[in-house]
Amino acid sequence: MITTREAVAAAERCTPEYRRDPHTVYARLRDAAPVCPMRPPHGNETYLITRYEDARAALADPRLSKDMYGAMDAYRRIFGDSSVALDDNMLNSDAPKHTRLRRLVNSAFTPRRVEALRPRIQDIVAGLLDACPAREPFDLLPALAFPLPIIVICDLLGVPPEERSLMQNLSVAVAQSGFHEEAKRAQQKAEEDLHAYFTDLIAAKRSDPGDDLLSALTAVRDDDGGLTANELVSTAFLLMFAGHKTTAYLIGNAVHHLLSHPAQLRAVREDPRLLRPAVEELVRYDGSVESATFRYATEDVEYGGTRIPKGALVQIAISAANRDPRKFDAPDELNVRRPGNAQDAHLGFGHGSHYCLGAPLARLETQLALTGLFDRFPGAALADPHGGPRWLEVPFPAFRGLAELRVVLDPAA
């Protein structure tokens, strides 16, 4: 077992060893330092929360603000000035602003509205699989996991089909941020391009509205309680970014772990009723959101017997909470028949007022991607089952996703 000091250093610096296996680090911190003071590369005083009960409470604690404009100096050091214009949205706000912004978008993501998308998503999955090679190894991420959610969210927003690739590329560039100057410049350029793109698209929707979410949001912009011009651009960015990256990585992680656990995959294929609880278990076991977005303490707060001072940043380790043995039996085992794993048990989609708005859509896309893949290719296998997965390397733990997922769909052929 690693020492507590080694665990803190690995979490602070996101070392390659940590990226490959953050769960060993989190296990140590849950036991020895469940609310851990850290000094990450961005230089801001930060506290990392790793136990389930503390994490769940912190996600809903109004004293931990999501309005990063209230911590502007820290915000600018972490994300740079260019992020400010794109972050004026519900993810980075508190009530009552958060309530107003979320209400305007909420109707597009109700379970009933999302379920109506099932035939369209099934068609997209089938079309993407049609283009996949069956008899030779290839990377499933750019073939299925990444294009599926980008097509779906572009459809919802009314982004023209010929511009989907642009949206995907810019979203990837924004996500691959870092603390050295070259990475910051690349991120800033992508953010500026996204801001300009959505500004132009919104102007087009105002002149010629369509049957899409962005046209609907544009129509209420000037009404009482509607979106300001910058909120509208920022909300479009948030929906595009959040609706793409997290679901893409979730699909990739889910396929990887099912192929790595053939007994679990066989159980789902033999009993389709297990598909929904299986997706919940996959979110718990190794979901795409490793850590919740930053919060900051508006006053002194205490968690796990540790005082978090006013003004400090708070990082809530979702991956750590979802493997806390105090909450889940045998948490390091993937078990699609896990008893009592209700949809609100794990924290993979958050908790409280900032619970993921797109959770119903992410669940449906993942379910249909897995069904389409394994129904058509029941013999699908990892191309190199002994080589080990290659995980993304990022400067701080936000997303948990694969850098590559090489598979063979029909090994027998």
Q: Which of 170-184, 272-286, 310-324, 385-399 has the lowest mean pLDDT?
A: 170-184
**DSSP conformation letters of 80-145:** -GGGGGG--SGGG--TTHHHHHHHHHHGGGSHHHHHTTHHHHHHHHHHHHHTS-SSS-EEHIIIII
> What pLDDT does residue 371 have?
97
The alpha-helical segments, DSSP class H, found in 176-323 are: 181-207, 213-219, 229-260, 262-270, 275-286, 318-321
* pLDDT above 90 (res 297): yes
172 occurs within a structural domain = yes
Q: Is residue 257 part of a domain?
A: yes
Of residues 410 and 274, more confidence is placed in 274
Q: Domain range spanning residue 371?
A: 4-408
List the CATH number of the domain containing 155: 1.10.630.10
Does residue 244 belong to any structural domain of this protein? yes
- Given CA atoms 93, 99, 104, 106 in this order, what sign does their dihedral have? positive
CA 51 – CA 324 distance, rounded (Å): 6
413 falls within a domain = no
| Mean local confidence (pLDDT), 203-227 | 82
What is the arithmetic mean of pLDDT over 199-206?
92
**Looking at residue 30, what DSSP letter applies?**
H
Shortest CA distance to 34 belongs to which of 13, 4, 77, 14? 4
- pLDDT band per the 50, 70, 90 thresholds, residue 53: very high
Mean pLDDT along residues 383-394: 85
> Mean pLDDT across the stretch 316-332?
95
Instruction: Examine residue 223 and state whether it is found in any structural domain, yes or no.
Output: yes
- Cβ atoms of 175 and 399 closer than 8 Å: yes
- Name the band, by pLDDT with cuts 50, 70 and 90, for residue 393: confident
**In the chain, % of residues over pLDDT 90:** 59
Strands 406-408 and 381-382: antiparallel
How high does pLDDT run on average in the chain? 88
Residue 41 lies in a domain: yes
Q: Using alpha carbons, list the distances in angstroms from residue 248 to 150, 244, 288, 334, 355.
A: 8, 6, 8, 20, 19
Q: Check pLDDT > 80 for residue 364.
A: yes
Q: Is residue 384 part of a domain?
A: yes
pLDDT exceeds cutoff 70 at 75: no
Q: pTM for this structure?
A: 0.93
Amino acid making up residue 266: R
What whole-number percentage of the chain has pLDDT above 70?
A: 90
Instruction: Indicate the pLDDT class of residue 247, thresholds 50, 70 and 90.
Output: very high
- What is the average pLDDT across 35-44? 85
In a domain, 135, yes or no: yes
What are the angstrom distances between the C-alpha of 36 and each of 26, 50, 296? 11, 8, 15
Tell me: pLDDT of 80 over 70: no
In the chain, how many domains are there? 1
pLDDT tier, 113 (very low <50, low <70, confident <90, very high otherwise): confident
